[in-house]
Amino acid sequence: MENKDVNLLWEAVVVDLMPMISTVSYQVWFSNVKPLKFYNNKLVLSVKLHTNKKQLDNTYRDMIVKCIRKNSDYIDDFIVVLEDEEKEITESPAPLAAEVKAEAPAEKFESTRFKSSFTFDNFVVGDSNQLVYAAAKTVAEEPGKRYNPLFIYGGVGLGKTHIMHAIGNFIAAAKPELRVRYAAAETFTNDFIESIRTNKDSGLNKLFRDNYRNVDVLMLDDIQSIAGKPGTQEALFHTFNYLVENEKQIVFSSDRHPSLLNNIEDRLISRFASGITVDISPPGLETRIAIVQRKAYSRRFHISQECMYYIAEKIDTNIRELEGALNKVVFYCEMNKVAADSVDVIREALRDEIEEGGRALNYEDIIAACATYFGVKSDDITGSRRSKQIVSARQMAIYLIYDILGLPLAEIGTYIGGRDHTTIGYTRDKMDKLRREDPIVERQIQDIRAKLGKA
């Protein structure tokens, strides 16, 4: 493959990555990434800083791999090198795409490769997650024997994926003979659609069944994404029954309790809840401090106790944002050659994330405030229902997210149920016109802004 193929693939990957990450994250970690070449079925990327390399290798690895595989039939992973390593990697010969394609598919089942940093040992346990930790550890030790299925639910960035990878890593080490399959529920849907698209008699349906039934442990992440997809639900129903009847372990994760899942068949809901259902709540202050301490130690980054306390106190939403804040502090300190031993340093590093007197608002806060004000649920705002009350709340949320946070239209669209940026732009303009012409709408905007501390 030529250099232009490398650049085209990376451009396609970036397009798919953008809705998954914030604008700040893109500017900090992705804007200076340079695609080099294809090497041993992998995309080689170059960065300047070791910190940037670690971020791509760890925090963003799963997302990048997913986007690479979506856009290439032959390239399925990536390598990150520093600029001074470029010569060594570019002088190595790379296999041609035709040679890769010609390789015979492996007959042996390959279990999912789990993120090595997501283990039970480095999962910080506190009051908010001790039940899910205990249930997950039991499942890992005795898959298919107890708590089947295990259904884990909780908000974004609280550790659901970590605990699922911890189960996989534990089983891989303790019971390597077991076959473990982990996938996003969206991947399950895509595989099912592909099996239909390529004809029932082509053999791919058998491949689909084998991928999801010929396993000892099946883990599906973000199961709420199968809502409103009857074909996928039918396939999952039969897969579920087959695995449970054969005493195979199933683990699901979701952003809400099974009873609150909309547009999913009752027979599946009852099966989701037939084992054990455990939730992960936002971590308390002590747990957040422990998480910052653990993450800093793993990166060999020295940070004072006072600074750890400050970060944990200000970032109280979820673990992902807490880790992102620490990453930004590390980056700031490395770039400016300062130590993380003063709250003033941390305050400056996180000036875009933290507002004095409290943490910075995020889109979830605004959606929740609009839902409360209009007497609906947050899920209604991000969902597809269109009652007058829900539409009013949804339009208000879109307008205030743009007005207060200044996020790009496409990013707002991903938060409001995956809506197109043109729809978001139309709604923003409509609300802007209404607030100037209708005093009731203006009053509503001011009331909600006051509740958010933005009057």
Residue 307 · residue 272 · CB < 8 Å? no
- Tokens representing 414 are 């991903």
Give the 3-state secondary structure of residue 136.
helix
Sequence letter at residue 71: N
- DSSP classification of residue 224: G
Give the dihedral of Cα atoms 231, 233, 235, 241; nearest 10 deg.
-160
- Tokens representing 142 are 């005795």
pLDDT tens digits for range 184-224: 888 898 888 888 776 555 444 677 888 899 999 999 999 99
Lowest mean pLDDT among 46-50, 82-86, 406-410, 419-423: 82-86
Q: What span, in angstroms and rounded, lies between the C-alpha atoms of 50 and 301?
A: 13
pLDDT value for 106: 40
Within 10 angstroms of residue 429's Cβ, the number of other Cβ atoms is 11
pLDDT value for 92: 44
pLDDT tens digits for range 63-97: 898 888 888 777 878 888 887 665 545 444 444 33
pLDDT (average), residues 401-415: 83
Residues 6+ apart with CB under 8 A from 225: 184, 185, 186, 189
**CATH architecture for segment(s) 130-280:** 3-Layer(aba) Sandwich (3.40)
Tally the C-alpha atoms within 13 A of residue 109's C-alpha that lie toward its C-beta. Answer: 18
Query: 3-102 domain in CATH 3.40.50.300?
Result: no
Q: Model's pTM, two decimal places?
A: 0.55
Provide φ and ψ at 409, rounded to 5°.
Answer: -60, -40
Whether the pLDDT of residue 317 is over 80: the answer is no
Query: 285-354 domain in CATH 2.60.120.680?
Result: no
pLDDT tens digits for range 347-363: 888 887 665 445 567 88
Q: What span, in angstroms and rounded, lies between the C-alpha atoms of 292 and 280?
A: 18
Whether the pLDDT of residue 108 is over 50: the answer is no
pLDDT value for 77: 84
What are the extents of the domains in the chain? Answer: 3-102, 130-280, 285-354, 363-451
pLDDT value for 88: 47
CATH topology of domain 363-451: Chromosomal Replication Initiator Protein Dnaa; Chain: A; (1.10.1750)
Rounded mean pLDDT of the chain? 83
Residues 6+ apart with CB under 8 A from 247: 144, 145, 148
pLDDT tens digits for range 129-183: 889 999 999 999 999 988 999 999 887 778 898 999 999 999 999 999 999 999 9
pLDDT confidence tier of residue 105, bands split at 50, 70 and 90? very low
pLDDT value for 97: 37
pLDDT value for 360: 62
More confident residue, 248 or 313: 248
Give the dihedral of Cα atoms 257, 258, 263, 269; nearest 10 deg.
180
Within 10 angstroms of residue 434's Cβ, the number of other Cβ atoms is 17
- Tokens representing 43 are 């995309």
The residue written with tokens 């006072």 in the block is 306
pLDDT value for 85: 62
pLDDT value for 102: 36
Strands 150-154 and 77-82: unpaired
Work out whether the CA dihedral 368, 372, 374, 379 comes out positive or negative.
positive
Within 10 angstroms of residue 24's Cβ, the number of other Cβ atoms is 12
Given strand 34-39, what is the order of strands in its sheet? 34-39, 42-47, 77-82
Provide φ and ψ at 434, rounded to 5°.
Answer: -65, -40
Q: Report the phi/psi class of residue 38: left, alpha or beta, with left for phi > 0 and alpha for psi in -120 to 50.
A: beta
Residues 6+ apart with CB under 8 A from 307: 329, 340, 341, 342, 343, 345, 346
285-354 and 363-451 have identical folds: no
pLDDT tens digits for range 326-384: 988 998 998 889 999 899 999 888 887 665 445 567 888 899 999 988 988 999 999 98
